[in-house]
Amino acid sequence: MSLSSVQRELINRYQGGLPLVERPYASLARALAISEHEVLQTITGLVDSGVLSRFGPIYNAARLGGGQTLAALEVPEERFAEVADSVNALPEVAHNYRRAHRLNMWFVVATATRDGVADTLQTIAARTGLKVYDFPKQHEFYLGLWLQLAEDDRVTTVPVPDVGILETPHRLDDLDYRIIAATQDGLPLQEEPFAALAVDVDTTEDLVRERLRRMLECGVIRRIGAVPNHYRLGLRGNGMTVWDVPDELAVALGERVGALDFVSHSYLRPRHPGVWPYNLFAMVHGQGRDEVHDKAERVAALLAPYCRAHDVLFSSEVLKKTGLRLAA
């Protein structure tokens, strides 16, 4: 789709780093050499058109003290729509994709407590009558998807800027959770968003900004800014590349894969013998499947001669895509 120069620059520069000041959109306006009103209009238009999923914090479920996992189902084609509706109805299911594989439905579960993951997977198994294959994260090598838009609207992925986090997580209290619940759909799109948020959560603006700053510093919030919808922007090649590498080398190899500039997510996850032989996952995005295959070949070259088998699971349908959801 065609974007204006202002829209492109706002997305390129502010997928993170929103200033925690009284009028943050005015700060963006000065940097972009436009008016605060135009910034707010631009963000609102991008959200309304689906180019941005939201504008606000991206939360880290693990740092919240909650649970998160990737899971999959083998769904008979004649039941696919019914099962998708059942899975998507659960608020704990954040993302759900149809992928081209025997395991054809892949979804992310994020819960407020660690025990909540197992409870949610049991609920899905009971509702669908299908075996749920759980792929919890055993080691994270890289997580980040920052998009850059060229003047011709071609989209590339670049490494997320490293801002550093404190080793000791901030202990969250009731106010923190109220702020999280109030911002999981994005920040208020008005001149003084933190003042409006303070009214919603019954506290002061200064305290709202201080709590957001602390959650950023300790990694509860990954970043605050524009959250692009990469499908809407043209990155329709979404390949989950999976690799069978020796367990004793998996961490070292995973670190190398995670360092590739086109890999947006890279994890070590368990195998399921007889069904799933792969233990190293790396997400790759591109304008189309050919671009993803080219990038997968670069991963294959990096892993040779240690890789025993690999596959690329393309998403053929987005069944659900939301951010983390906590009850207020």
What does 70-121 look like in DSSP terms, one character per residue? EEEE---GGGHHHHHHHHHTSTTEEEEEEESSSS-EEEEEEESSTHHHHHHH
Does the pLDDT at position 234 exceed 80?
no
* 89-141 residue pLDDT tens: 999 998 999 999 999 999 999 888 888 999 999 999 999 999 999 999 999 98
Distance, CA of 269 to CA of 257 (rounded, Å): 14
Cβ–Cβ < 8 Å for 103, 275: yes
CA distance 145 to 141: 13
Q: Is the pLDDT of residue 146 over 90?
A: no
- Asked if pLDDT for residue 288 goes beyond 50, the answer is yes
Most confident stretch, 183-192, 224-233, 318-327: 183-192
* Percent of residues, the chain, with pLDDT higher than 90: 71
Query: Regarding predicted confidence, which is higher, 59 or 136?
Result: 136
Highest mean pLDDT: which of 56-60, 149-153, 211-215, 323-327?
211-215
Lowest mean pLDDT among 72-76, 80-84, 139-143: 139-143
In angstroms, the CA 304 to CA 50 distance is 40
pLDDT exceeds cutoff 80 at 61: no
Q: What is the mean pLDDT of residues 209-216?
A: 96
* Residue 37 reports pLDDT greater than 90: yes
Lowest mean pLDDT among 161-165, 189-193, 199-203, 218-222: 161-165
Indicate the average pLDDT of the chain: 91
Mean pLDDT of 33-51: 97
| Euclidean distance between the first and the last CA atom of the chain, given in angstroms as a whole number | 36
By C-alpha distance, which of 307, 303, 287, 289 is closest to 239?
289
pLDDT of residue 64: 81
For residue 169, pLDDT beyond 80: no
Residue 159 pLDDT level (bands cut at 50, 70, 90): low
CA distance 256 to 254: 5
Work out the average pLDDT over 22-50.
97
Q: Report which DSSP code applies to 41.
A: H
Distance CA 319, CA 95 (A): 8
Rg (CA), the chain: 20
* Residue 211 confidence (pLDDT): 97
Query: Nearest 5 degrees, angle CA 299-CA 300-CA 301?
Result: 90
Q: Worst-scoring range by mean pLDDT, 127-136, 151-160, 232-241, 249-258?
A: 151-160
Quote the tokens at residue 225.
């800014």
Q: Which residues pair with 97 in a beta bridge?
A: 106, 318
pLDDT over threshold 70, residue 162: no
Question: Which pLDDT belongs to residue 39?
Answer: 98
Average pLDDT on 197-213 reads: 98
In what helix (H) or strand (E) does residue 162 lie, and over which residues does it extend?
Answer: none
pLDDT score at 322: 78
pLDDT at residue 323 is higher than 70 = no
Most confident segment among 122-131, 221-230, 313-322: 122-131
